[in-house]
Amino acid sequence: MNLFSWFGRGSAPIARERLQILLAHERNERDHPDLLGVLREEILALISRHVSFDPDKVQIKMDRGKSVSTLAVDIEIPNAYGAPGEVSQPRRARAKRMGSAATPTMDQRVA
Amino acid sequence: MKDKKSGRVLVVTSGKGGVGKTTSTAALGAALAHLGEKVVVIDFDVGLRNLDLVMGAERRVVFDLINVIHGVAKLPQALIRDKRLENLHLLPASQTRDKDALTEDGVAKVIAELRSKFDWIICDSPAGIERGATLAMRYADAAIIVANPEVSSVRDSDRIIGLLDSKTQKAERGECVDKQLLITRYHPWRAARGEMLAIDDVLEILSIPLLGIIPESEEVLRASNMGSPVTLNSPVSPPARAYFEAARRLKGETIPMHVPSESRGIFNKLFGRKAA
């Protein structure tokens, strides 16, 4: 077992890195307990200034990854300008990979 | 007792259990008393009191903190004077199972009365983040966060720092509770081999100042077996020296930080035997 340590293979650096990532996340949660709710409200307010849509047809999802998080916004907008007779296909406004902007601390990893 | 003092309230806290809060409360309280300060240590672990046992006063408990809060006893009746140091006192917790026995107002009154009588009021917090822990920190001027160099302890310390910054009276007034880190159960040889988080790792992650580093030692266990704070039971042992240095830092002295170092022989190093 000591052979590992002679080659610099202790587990402490892993502990340190896991803690840094976890605590950055937890501190962010602590400081902004309802980040998703706030984002949702502000994004919807912005989009509704330009187009009208059904608030029930909005999906906002955040995935937390190890180094990057993704924020997916899926809004179904009725196609009011569709050609006559054409089956109205909902247009989808989609924004992805806004993770680094939404959760800045997630990217602050120290090597 | 002369009612002229304006004591400093310390909370010894950690979030995680078993990291050494009670041991550290007893050791630091005794060290400060030995340095001439008038000290009271309070056990906030209602239902699971242990500070009395670690201090060797378990058979002298008549009244406790809850009795004082409920007006059953006066504060001086509940205070137990240490048999070794006359300026060291203990206010024990009760063994009641009623979680709501501690009230915010009651604790405030007791703390205010103790402030006028002692230089240091050291509150031994229960583990966790429930009522007992938040009341122990509620009126603190300063906090000692006890952590082991280990992932779950460091994580819980971070939670506790968050609570100290939001749930204390000082925080609600827009002031800041002084926070210092006391690292306990430190194994120099494990840190040297990269098997245990290094002091610098923990400090960088928690970013609060360091009060002291207490090395893992059989003397700590021996002291609790004997019912005597390690700073009294074996005052020249490495953990006791580290506690004395921490106590002097609390008093405002500047003492260079001494990181416990590898003290094993070459044989043990090669074959990985744990030093006693």
Q: Encode pLDDT of B163-187 as tens digits.
A: 999 999 999 999 999 999 999 999 9
**What digits encode the pLDDT tens for the residues B120-168?**
999 999 999 999 999 999 999 999 999 999 999 999 999 999 999 999 9
CB contact under 8 A, A12 and B201: yes
Q: What is the reported pLDDT for A88?
A: 46
User: Which residue, among A1, A4, A5, A19, would best test binding to B if mutated, counting the most B CBs under 10 Å from its CB?
Assistant: A19
Is the distance from CB of B262 to CB of B274 less than 8 angstroms?
no
> Dihedral angle at the C-alpha atoms of B108, B111, B115, B121, nearest 10 degrees?
-140
User: Do B186 and B260 contact (CB within 8 A), yes or no?
Assistant: yes
What pLDDT, on a 0 to 100 scale, did the predictor assign at position B5? Answer: 80
pLDDT digits (tens, 9 = 90+) for B50-72: 999 999 999 999 999 999 999 99
Residue B17 pLDDT more than 60?
Answer: yes
**B260 pLDDT tier (thresholds 50, 70, 90):** confident
pLDDT of the residue at B263: 59
What's the pLDDT score for residue B241?
Answer: 96
pLDDT band of B213, cuts 50, 70, 90: very high
Burial (Cβ within 10 Å: 0-12, 13-18, ≥19) of residue B20: buried
Q: Cα distance from B158 to chain A (closest Cα, Å)?
A: 8
Q: Are B22 and B7 in contact (CB under 8 A)?
A: no
All residues at 6 or more sequence positions from B106 whose CB lies less than 8 Å from its CB, including other chains = B68, B69, B70
Alpha helices for B125-193 (secondary structure H)? 131-138, 151-164, 169-172, 188-192
pLDDT at B104: 94
Closest CA to A26 of B159, B208, B166, B151: B159
B195 CA: distance to closest CA in chain A (Å): 5
Asked if A9's CB is within 8 angstroms of B205's CB, the reply is no
Closest residue to A1, CB basis, from B155, B196, B272: B272
User: Residue B48 above 80 pLDDT?
Assistant: yes
Reported pTM: 0.77
Select from B158, B197, B270 the Cβ nearest to the Cβ of A15. Answer: B197
Chain segment A30-58, per-residue pLDDT in tens: 877 677 777 888 888 888 888 888 878 88
Element (H, E) at B129: none
ipTM, two decimals: 0.80
B39-43 β-sheet, strand order? B80-81, B88-91, B39-43, B120-124, B8-13, B142-147, B178-186, B210-215
Runs of H (alpha helix) within chain A = 2-6, 12-31, 35-48, 99-102
pLDDT of residue B150: 94
> Do the Cβ atoms of B196 and A18 come within 8 Å?
no
In this predicted model, which residue has the larger pLDDT, A52 or B115? B115
Work out the number of other CB atoms within 10 angstroms of the CB of residue B70. 12
Q: What is the mean pLDDT of each run of 10 residues along chain A (111 residues)?
A: 55 92 86 76 85 82 76 81 49 47 41 33
